[in-house]
């Protein structure tokens, strides 16, 4: 059975009470993203992880990688945490993925109480991979392998996968209040995106930008003047101004804080970050 492992990073640094609240918000955002993309999935969680099961795993992965708060995802195959089952699954998994003459390494990790150590997992899984592929001339290289097999043992289950796919990271959207974003182009959209990544839910003044809609399927818009829009429960105003716009910044007078996430970025960094949004 294939399962998508969903990891978060910053949430794990919070106190237990705050982490629980953020985890619940992240769960809601994940389900909203999957539903918006028409992906049917089951979602469960334990300490530090979410697990998603879907018929269309590729579509589910695409959706999950656009949810703020998600640090990375991996498409994994599972078995029990019994060491013999891990050996068998490691051999089967590697046999379907390794090629002639490749080098490999096993990267084990373990959470919970088990009658073996992480080193035991690495040793036994590595031995199984070597035996299963000995006709292909494979070798072990712990420093710079061609193929990496990750074995993550958590409680009664083990998860085997060969890659980490980055998510946007940050904090769950909606955990840090609401901001009003003036979006007239890609630079403004990037500024709003960066505030959304820090947990803010953005209200766009004017037309919704498609790049932002990819990350917030419930993106709200506002019409009219900035002053009228600020009457809602908005905690700040976001604009895509940079150092070259300091004369404009000095003339701005608003009753709420002004956030300028692009301030100090050069054009090269702005282009790179825009590419991350696509």
- CATH number, domain with residue 49: 3.30.70.1510
73 and 90 belong to one structural domain: no
Q: What is the CATH classification number for the domain harbouring 252?
A: 3.40.50.620
Q: Is 161 among the domain residues?
A: no
249/234 Cα distance (integer angstroms): 20
103 and 146 belong to one structural domain: yes
Q: Is 173 among the domain residues?
A: no
Q: Is 49 among the domain residues?
A: yes
Task: List pLDDT tens digits, range 212-225.
Answer: 999 998 899 888 77
Residue ending a domain, choose from 102, 122, 155: 155
Buried b (16+ CB within 10 A) or exposed e, 170-194: bbbbbbbeebbbbbeebbbbbbbbb
Question: Residue 242's pLDDT is what?
Answer: 83
DSSP state of 214: H
Q: What is the CATH classification number for the domain harbouring 91?
A: 3.30.2130.30
pLDDT-derived band at 243 (thresholds 50, 70, 90) equals: confident
Instruction: Output the six-digit token pair for 18.
Output: 């705050």
Q: Is 171 among the domain residues?
A: no
64 and 97 belong to one structural domain: no
Residue ending a domain, choose from 42, 77, 112: 77
How many structural domains comprise the chain?
3
Phi/psi region, residue 270 (left: phi>0; alpha: psi -120 to 50; beta: rest), is alpha
3 state SS of 130: helix
Residue ending a domain, choose from 155, 188, 203: 155
Q: Is 172 among the domain residues?
A: no
Q: Is 166 among the domain residues?
A: no
105 and 133 belong to one structural domain: yes
182 and 273 belong to one structural domain: yes
Task: List pLDDT tens digits, range 11-55.
Answer: 767 777 888 899 999 999 999 999 999 999 999 988 789 999 999
pLDDT-derived band at 253 (thresholds 50, 70, 90) equals: confident
What mean pLDDT is predicted for residues 81-87? 97
77/90 Cα distance (integer angstroms): 10
207 and 229 belong to one structural domain: yes
139 and 208 belong to one structural domain: no
Range of the domain at 68: 2-77
């Amino acid at each position: 059975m294939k399962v998508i492992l969903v990891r978060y990073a910053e949430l794990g640094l919070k106190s237990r009470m705050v982490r629980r609240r953020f985890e619940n918000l992240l769960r809601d955002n994940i389900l909203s993203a999957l539903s918006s993309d028409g992906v049917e999935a089951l979602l469960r969680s334990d300490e530090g992880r979410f697990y998603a099961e879907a018929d269309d795993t590729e579509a589910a992965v695409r959706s999950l990688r656009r949810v703020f708060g998600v640090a990375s995802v991996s498409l994994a195959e599972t078995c029990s945490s019994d060491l013999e089952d891990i050996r068998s699954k490691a051999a089967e998994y590697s046999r379907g993925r390794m090629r002639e003459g490749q080098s490999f390494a096993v990267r084990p990790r373990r959470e919970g109480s088990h009658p073996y150590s992480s080193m035991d997992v690495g040793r036994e899984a590595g031995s199984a991979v070597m035996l299963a592929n000995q006709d292909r001339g494979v070798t072990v290289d712990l420093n710079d392998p061609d193929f990496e097999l990750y074995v993550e043992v958590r409680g009664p289950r083990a998860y085997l996968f060969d890659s980490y796919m980055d998510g946007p990271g940050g904090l769950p959207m909606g955990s840090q209040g609401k901001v009003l974003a003036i979006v007239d182009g890609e630079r403004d959209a990037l500024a709003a995106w960066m505030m959304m990544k820090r947990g803010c839910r953005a209200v766009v003044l004017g037309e919704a930008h498609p790049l932002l809609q990819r990350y917030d399927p419930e993106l709200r818009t506002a019409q009219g003047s900035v002053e009228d829009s600020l009457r809602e429960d908005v905690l700040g105003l976001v604009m895509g101004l940079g150092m070259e716009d300091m004369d404009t910044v000095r003339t701005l007078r608003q009753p709420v804080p002004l956030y300028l996430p692009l301030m100090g970025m050069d054009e090269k960094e702005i282009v790179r970050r825009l590419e991350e949004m696509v």
